[in-house]
Every structure is written in C-alpha cells, then in structure tokens.
Amino acid sequence: MAWLLDAHIHLSDPEYASNMDVIVNSMDRLGLRACAVSMDNESSKNTLAIAARSDHVLPFIGIHPEKAADDLDMMVDLIRNNAAAISGIGEIGLDKTYCSDEAQFKRQHLVFSTLLEVAEKLHKPVSVHSRKTLDEVLDMIPSYKTGGFLLHWFDGSKKQLARAMDLGCFVSYGPVMVYSQDKQVMASASNRDKILVETDGPVKFSHCFGMKAAQISFIPSVMFALSKTLGQSYDETEAMLEGNAKRYLRI
C-alpha cells in the first residue's frame, strides 16, 4: 500500500502538544508519514522524543535561520550522537528577514554551511529554508553532496526553479496550492520526479482552510490539487510522490 508524506511540518511546536496522541495514532492508522523538522536545540530534542513514539515520524533536527544565535557546537554534537536515529537535518537555511546587520547574516551563513557539512558527512537529506535568499542558497548547493536537498515551500521564479532542477533539488508545495494559481503554475513547471508536498504546520492558511493551523490531514487535499494541476489521477500522483519521497529520504 502506498504511503503519504508530509515533507515538512513542525510537530515539536507547542501548537500540537495537546493533540499529539491523536496525531501520532492517526498517522499510524492512515499510513501518513512526516518529516518532523526542528528550529533549535530545544525543539530538536522534542522532535526526537516525538519520533520515539512512532516510526511514522521521521525526525529532522537543526537550527532555523531565525534561531542562528543558538549553540552550534551543541547542535553538531546532538546530530552526531543521534545520527542513527535521525532521518535528516533541518530546518536549516538563510533568511535576511531575521537579520538586522551583516554580522547576523554571516552567523546564519556559518550555521547553514556547518550543518550542510555535517549532512554531507552523514549522507543525510536536508530541509532548507530559502526565503528571499534563494540565489545565495542555489550558489552554495554545488559545494555539498547531501542525501537529498529539499527547497521547502518553494517560492522562487521560473528561472530559479529551472536552476534548482538542474542542480537536482527537490521542491515542495503546500496547502496554498489548493487555491493559488501561481503555485499551480510553478508546480506544473517542476520536474515530476522532484516534487514533494508539505503542510509547514502549524502555519495557518486562509480561504478553504479557514485560518486553521495546518494539520497532516491536509496532505490529501494538497495531493488532489497537485493531481489536477499535473493532469493525472490521484492514484498516479500518490505513486509519484511516494517514489519521490523514497529518493529524497534514500529509503
């Protein structure tokens, strides 16, 4: 039986804490898996604890660019000490939105490059944040050979998308694709063997989702929208995404 993957969700966020039993049980029953990404050392430890409860939770640990001031050496040790348990490294990346000066961006760059080096040594996939820094991230990719490189929540231009495809990156699209023509256009321009879907929960979405914090259960809706965008059946899309997920995760 095919399984579904949420390629990027923050299960360690406090938003989900009170419903974690329900979330984990529903994932197990429905065959839903999730790349549970982290923000810093504290959330990474929480992610590992959640993953210990279910094989369907695939833990990704790392330092988000918003948290670049976090203890980098501690994170490197945490990754190495849990190398056999983690599925990947993330959420990592660059984002000038969180920088007030050049020194802070240099710190982001140091954290990002260091964790990419660790991912390369451990052959782990990475989940990458690239808001308003996509060109900088794309420039860095050729220097590293990770298990799989996901540009989560892809929000670039068609030119940047073409470059990402040339570099062998995966790209993921979320609930916005259900109602956004722009996202549908970008998805249709992506290589079909490089597409993944995500929720980025607990981000809230408008329109048909009524500003509800994203749940893993949104994934079938995203997949349905993707199947319509690509002009193929839901079953074909499910099989395509399962194959893509296995290549990204190397499983």
Where residue 35 sits, what CATH number does that domain have?
3.20.20.140
Domain holding 210, by residue range, is 4-249
Residue 1 has pLDDT above 70, yes or no: no
Calpha distance 39→21 (Å, rounded): 22
Q: What is the pTM of this model?
A: 0.97
Q: DSSP string of 151-191?
A: ETT----HHHHHHHHHTT-EEEE-GGGGT-HHHHHHHHHS-
Looking at residue 3, what is its pLDDT? 85
pLDDT tens profile 181-221: 999 999 999 999 999 999 999 999 988 888 889 999 999 99
Number of domain units in the chain: 1
pLDDT tens profile 4-21: 999 999 999 999 999 999
Looking at residue 206, what is its pLDDT? 82
Instruction: Give the phi and the psi of residue 196 in degrees, each rounded to 5.
Output: -130, 165
In the chain, % of residues over pLDDT 70 = 100
Calpha distance 147→168 (Å, rounded): 11
